[in-house]
Amino acid sequence: MTKDNELTLISVTYGENDIGDAIQIESRLNVLCDVLSVTRSEHYQAAANGLKPSFVFAVNKFEYDGQKIVEFEGTKYKVDRTYAPRQSKGIEDFEDIELVCSGLVNGAM
């Protein structure tokens, strides 16, 4: 895989502002990725569980740290699940992890 696209991994933590109100703090990490197709079986299996996957992104395993939100081409997506292929297709695939993602509605998970 060539990793021709850029994906932003977003970590969310919570803190306080100057007056003590709880606020959400986003930490962003830009990584390179491949955009894969959602397979037919993945689509139907997800639909049976009430999910609607939009994209599958392949990123380097060492860059992914459990982030639950990603941004691709200006749109945020929720990471529904991850998949680490058992066998690589080539030496460059050995350390990849696939992020199966669905769209966020009004920015909410």
Q: What is the mean pLDDT of residues 51-77?
A: 89
List the one residue out of 29, 74, 35 whose CA is nearest residue 56: 35
Are 98 and 56 spatial neighbours (Cβ–Cβ below 8 Å)?
yes
Please tell me which residue, 96 or 2, carries the higher pLDDT value: 96
List the one residue out of 106, 97, 92, 99 whose CA is nearest residue 53: 99
Please tell me which residue, 38 or 65, carries the higher pLDDT value: 65
Q: Show me where the domains of the chain are located.
A: 5-15+23-103
93 three-class SS: helix
Query: What distance in Å separates the CA atoms of residue 93 and residue 69, rounded to the nearest whole number?
Result: 23
Per-residue pLDDT band for 3 (boundaries 50, 70, 90) equals: confident
> End-to-end CA distance of the chain, in Å?
30
pTM of the model: 0.77
pLDDT at res. 2: 76
Taking domain 5-15+23-103, whether its CATH number is 2.40.10 is answered by yes
Q: What is the mean pLDDT of residues 86-99?
A: 70
Does the structure show a pLDDT above 60 at 66? yes
